[in-house]
């Protein structure tokens, strides 16, 4: 069971390459905000192709790696939940690499999506991983159940929601469910994302299977 928060390579090679290529094609001539940029998996190839990218991460160490990998990008240390940037200054807000799972509280996710939406120019888009099409089928097939993986990490679920946590190791002294010491993540479903779009006034999400992404769009530019 891979760690979905790996800052360097959060997706397998094939899926990562599909995302990068789709974004390269879609973002030509645009200004892109890469939130939760990690070490620059997305920022580096976009920036190297001449696309203007502002990259944000709250981890100074991985942000330094991003700056090294993408010297042409603007790298900003900050929280994706509390961005202080000019309204209508981006054509695309990109949040991939399973980073969107960190928005586990649906109320917080609504506030964040509203903030991101305000950053979009008319017709702009918000792009996230196709979480429901990727992870949800694995869950229904019997994967993602509570247990300990080959690498020793333990997966635990919330008692009443699609919220989970990955622990570095199993601990018999802790609850078998998510507790206060865990870093919560949400396994977003398509229905929840559709409701999120409706609540924030965005169109979508549209599944772009070729790029392994979901796209929310600003309807004012349609």
The predicted structure's pLDDT at residue 116: 97
**pLDDT at 141 exceeding the cut of 90:** no
Contact 217, 125 (CB under 8 A): yes
The predicted structure's pLDDT at residue 151: 77
Contact 169, 152 (CB under 8 A): yes
Which residues 6+ apart lie within 8 Å of 100 measured at CB? Answer: 128, 129, 131, 188
Locus of tokens 């929840």: 192
CATH number for the domain formed by residue range(s) 13-131+188-221: 3.40.50.150
Compute the radius of gyration of the chain from its Cα atoms. 17
pLDDT digits 0-9 by tens, 193-222: 999 999 999 999 999 999 999 999 998 865
- Vertex 135: Cα angle to 132 and 138 (nearest 5): 125
pLDDT digits 0-9 by tens, 29-68: 999 999 999 999 999 999 999 999 999 999 999 999 999 9
* Sequence ranges of the domains in the chain: 13-131+188-221, 145-186
């Amino acid at each position: 069971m891979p760690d979905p928060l790996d800052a360097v390579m959060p997706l397998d090679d094939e899926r990562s390459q599909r995302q990068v290529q789709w974004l390269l094609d879609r973002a030509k001539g645009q200004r892109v905000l890469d939130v939760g940029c990690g070490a620059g998996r997305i920022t580096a190839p976009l920036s190297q192709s001449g696309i203007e990218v502002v990259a944000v991460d709250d981890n100074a160490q991985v942000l330094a790696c991003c700056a090294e990998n993408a010297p042409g990008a603007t790298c900003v240390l900050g929280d994706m939940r509390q961005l202080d940037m000019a309204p209508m200054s981006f054509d695309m807000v990109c949040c991939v690499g399973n980073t969107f799972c960190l928005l586990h509280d649906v109320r917080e996710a609504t506030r964040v999506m509203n903030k991101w939406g305000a950053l979009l120019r008319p017709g702009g888009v918000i792009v996230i991983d196709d979480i429901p099409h990727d992870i949800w089928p694995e869950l229904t097939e019997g994967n993602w159940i509570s247990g300990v993986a080959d690498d020793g990490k333990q997966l635990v679920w919330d008692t009443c929601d699609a919220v989970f946590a990955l622990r570095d190791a199993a601990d018999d002294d802790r609850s078998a469910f998510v507790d206060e010491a865990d870093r919560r993540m949400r396994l977003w479903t398509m229905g929840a994302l559709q409701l999120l779009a409706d609540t924030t006034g965005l169109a979508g999400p549209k599944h772009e299977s070729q790029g392994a992404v979901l796209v929310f769009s600003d309807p004012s530019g349609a």
